[in-house]
Amino acid sequence: MKTIIRNGTIVTDKQTYPADILIEKGTISRIVENLPSEPGSAQEIDAKACYVLPGGIDPHVHMHLPAPAGFSSDDFLSGSRAALIGGTTTIIDFVTPMRGQSITEALDIRKKEAGSALTDIMFHVSPVEFTENTEKELEQCIEMGIRSFKVYMAYKSNIGLNDDDLLKVLKIVGKANGIVAVHCETGDEIEVLRNKYFEQGKIEPKYHALSRPPETEARAVRKLLEMAKEAGCAVYLVHISSALSLEHIRKAREAGQEVFAETCPQYLLLDDSLYEGDFSQTAKFVMSPPLRKKTDNEALWKALSEGLIQSVGTDHCPFTLAQKKAGLNNFRKIPNGAGGVEHRLALLYTYGVLENRITLQQFVNLTAAMPAKIFGLYPRKAAIAVGSDADLVIWNPNTKNIISASSHHQHCDLNIYDGFKTTGSPEYVIKGGEIAARKGEIKVQNPGCYLANPARRGF
Ligand code: URP
Ligand code: ZN
């Protein structure tokens, strides 16, 4: 079946212009003004007064993430539904083996788990230790077309790497022209602070934030950038939350280092005053890194508008209140993370574009084009161009919504954006040429594609 999208205003990373789009066999086949009708052979979608955007790419989600309090509450089916409804057609999740498990075995298991995702799906692969097999396993992944890896400088007791092992990973991935995504927090320092607070009887959620001050992120960023330079490896700094970190990123980029940075809506829109109150109000904001000050929010918005941060992911990792209660008497046991995959586009559009903090082009760059370019998916994804996958969002810029845990599609009884007003939402979400969602309702059953063998980074 062919589809024509008519009367819309196309927005890409480079330009905004009126044109119609013909889709054939899941691919964009023509883009011109006033496409001739094809009665009987093409369905028509009227995009009048709407923007036609590339489908969103969320480069940072954790569906069905194992934690001591149970799995994060969205599995690949429920989380990808919420993603589609919000205008995200590709998600990038993680393969995180258990120590002692082979990376390739963990990759196979994760691919099966992700088989129910309705979005397209890709993985960053995490070495969680460096054994005599790790180099070979990383090379096997690279041969299979995986070029994006993720390491943690925090969580050293289970998945974090020490600096020597991190440097080894950077060297291997750098040699293959891959990229390492890094969770930058100095794990050892944080561990000392966490235990100190707990031993003083300071058990509430706010001590989660106080034990992870912005300096612990900034010091890790600085160290990582030095190591990446030594190793000659491109790096992607996930969920940057603080103004302090930005100066290190700026210097490295100005010196020509291949460094990309991500932030998330929570670090742009929420602040640490939310840790004041009782457990049932504050535990949902326990995430790593934690929420910072309003001045950090503003510094991050500025970094988006200046291009210092190139990507906005969500770090979608929801836990229910019952799961958060595992840490009722000990903040160290509260599972880290919060949901947001459904709201990324609406929040960025409302509080970024409509408040003149970023342009429409930057909105598309941050939510789709740059993640696609950094992780080798462009121009198959996020380009509205002949030959590209027909993953498109018909964005109505006039709808009004209020985010609420009682009406969202994420599988969780908590929502950190509860009460946030948004303007704009997808009228249609088209994935692989099919209508995947329409005004908040899912229309597809069939799973998305696993995106193997993405090309090298390309701009
Ligand atoms: O608090 C967070 N971010 N939870 C998810 C796991 C991680 O640290 O990225
Ligand atoms: Zn994460």
**Are 342 and 83 spatial neighbours (Cβ–Cβ below 8 Å)?**
yes
**Are 142 and 196 spatial neighbours (Cβ–Cβ below 8 Å)?**
no
Asked if pLDDT for residue 38 goes beyond 90, the answer is no
Q: What does the pLDDT read at residue 424?
A: 98
Asked if pLDDT for residue 454 goes beyond 80, the answer is no
Question: Rounded to whole angstroms, how far apart are CA atoms 91 and 364?
Answer: 16
From the CA of 338, which ligand is nearest?
1
- Find residue 28's DSSP bridge partners: 23
Structure tokens belonging to residue 373:
């370019």
Q: Indicate whether residue 93 lines ligand 1 (CB < 6 A).
A: no
Which is nearest to 220 in space by CA: 246, 193, 184, 245? 184
Count of CB atoms within 10 A of residue 112's CB?
Answer: 8
Quick one: pLDDT band at residue 444, thresholds 50, 70, 90?
very high
Per DSSP, the three-state class of 351 is helix
- Minimum mean pLDDT range among 33-47, 181-195, 405-419: 33-47
Q: What is the pLDDT of residues 151-187, one digit of tens each?
A: 999 999 999 999 999 999 999 999 999 999 999 999 9
Question: Rounded to whole angstroms, how far apart are CA atoms 342 and 353?
Answer: 18
Q: What does the pLDDT read at residue 29?
A: 98
**Residue 395 is which amino acid?**
W
Q: Whose CA is nearest to atom 4 of ligand 1?
A: 337
> What average pLDDT does the chain have?
97
Q: Indicate whether residue 287 lines ligand 1 (CB < 6 A).
A: yes
The dihedral built from the CA positions of residue 88, 92, 98 and 102, taken in this order, carries a sign that is positive
Length reported for the chain: 459
Q: Whose CA is nearest to atom 8 of ligand 1?
A: 288
Structure tokens belonging to residue 139:
């090379």
Question: Rounded to whole angstroms, how far apart are CA atoms 153 and 217?
Answer: 10
Q: What does the pLDDT read at residue 62?
A: 98
Q: Whose CA is nearest to atom 2 of ligand 1?
A: 337
Q: Whose CA is nearest to atom 7 of ligand 1?
A: 288
Residue with tokens 């034990």: 211
Quick one: pLDDT band at residue 117, thresholds 50, 70, 90?
very high
Q: What is the pLDDT of residues 304-341, one digit of tens each?
A: 999 999 999 999 999 999 999 999 999 999 999 999 99
Asked if pLDDT for residue 452 goes beyond 90, the answer is no
Q: What does the pLDDT read at residue 268?
A: 99
Q: How far is the CA of 151 from the centre of ligand 1 (A)?
A: 12
Q: What does the pLDDT read at residue 449?
A: 96
Residue 382, φ and ψ in degrees, nearest 5? 70, 5
Question: Rounded to whole angstroms, how far apart are CA atoms 36 and 367?
Answer: 32
Q: How far is the CA of 62 from the centre of ligand 2 (A)?
A: 6
Which of 60, 61, 62, 153 best tests ligand 1's pocket when mutated (most atoms within 8 Å of CB)? 62
Q: Indicate whether residue 315 lines ligand 1 (CB < 6 A).
A: yes
Q: How far is the CA of 60 from the centre of ligand 2 (A)?
A: 6
**Are 8 and 52 spatial neighbours (Cβ–Cβ below 8 Å)?**
yes
The pTM for the full model equals: 0.98
Which is nearest to 60 in space by CA: 124, 111, 117? 124
Count of CB atoms within 10 A of residue 261's CB?
Answer: 26
Q: What does the pLDDT read at residue 322?
A: 98
Asked if pLDDT for residue 435 goes beyond 80, the answer is yes
Which is nearest to 11 in space by CA: 121, 118, 87, 91? 87
Q: Indicate whether residue 62 lines ligand 1 (CB < 6 A).
A: yes
Which of 186, 336, 416 best tests ligand 1's pocket when mutated (most atoms within 8 Å of CB)? 336
Asked if pLDDT for residue 459 goes beyond 80, the answer is no
Q: Indicate whether residue 209 lines ligand 1 (CB < 6 A).
A: no
Q: Which H or E element spans position 79?
A: helix 76-86
Ion ligand 2, residue ranges at CB < 5 A: 315
Q: What does the pLDDT read at residue 456?
A: 73
Q: What does the pLDDT read at residue 39?
A: 85
Q: Indicate whether residue 336 lines ligand 1 (CB < 6 A).
A: yes
Q: How far is the CA of 233 from the centre of ligand 1 (A)?
A: 23
SS (H, E, C) 191-239: HHHHHHHHHCCCCCCHHHHHCCCHHHHHHHHHHHHHHHHHHCCEEEECC
Which is nearest to 426 in space by CA: 361, 355, 324, 346? 346
Q: How far is the CA of 97 from the centre of ligand 1 (A)?
A: 16
Structure tokens belonging to residue 96:
């995180």
**Are 75 and 116 spatial neighbours (Cβ–Cβ below 8 Å)?**
yes
Question: Rounded to whole angstroms, how far apart are CA atoms 347 and 362?
Answer: 14
Structure tokens belonging to residue 72:
């994060």
Atom of ligand 1 nearest to the CA of 238: 9
From the CA of 319, which ligand is nearest?
1
What average pLDDT does the segment 254-259 reach?
Answer: 98
Q: What is the pLDDT of residues 63-94, one digit of tens each?
A: 999 999 999 999 999 999 999 999 999 999 99
**Are 170 and 233 spatial neighbours (Cβ–Cβ below 8 Å)?**
yes
Q: What is the pLDDT of residues 268-300, one digit of tens each?
A: 999 999 999 999 999 999 999 999 999 999 999
Q: What does the pLDDT read at residue 186?
A: 98
What average pLDDT does the segment 393-419 reach?
Answer: 98
Question: Rounded to whole angstroms, how far apart are CA atoms 123 and 111?
Answer: 9
Question: Rounded to whole angstroms, how far apart are CA atoms 322 and 334?
Answer: 10
Q: What does the pLDDT read at residue 455?
A: 76
Question: Rounded to whole angstroms, how far apart are CA atoms 408 and 270?
Answer: 19
Preceding peptide of 379 cis, ω within 30°: yes
Q: Which H or E element spans position 89?
A: strand 88-95
**Are 21 and 274 spatial neighbours (Cβ–Cβ below 8 Å)?**
no
Q: Indicate whether residue 337 lines ligand 1 (CB < 6 A).
A: yes
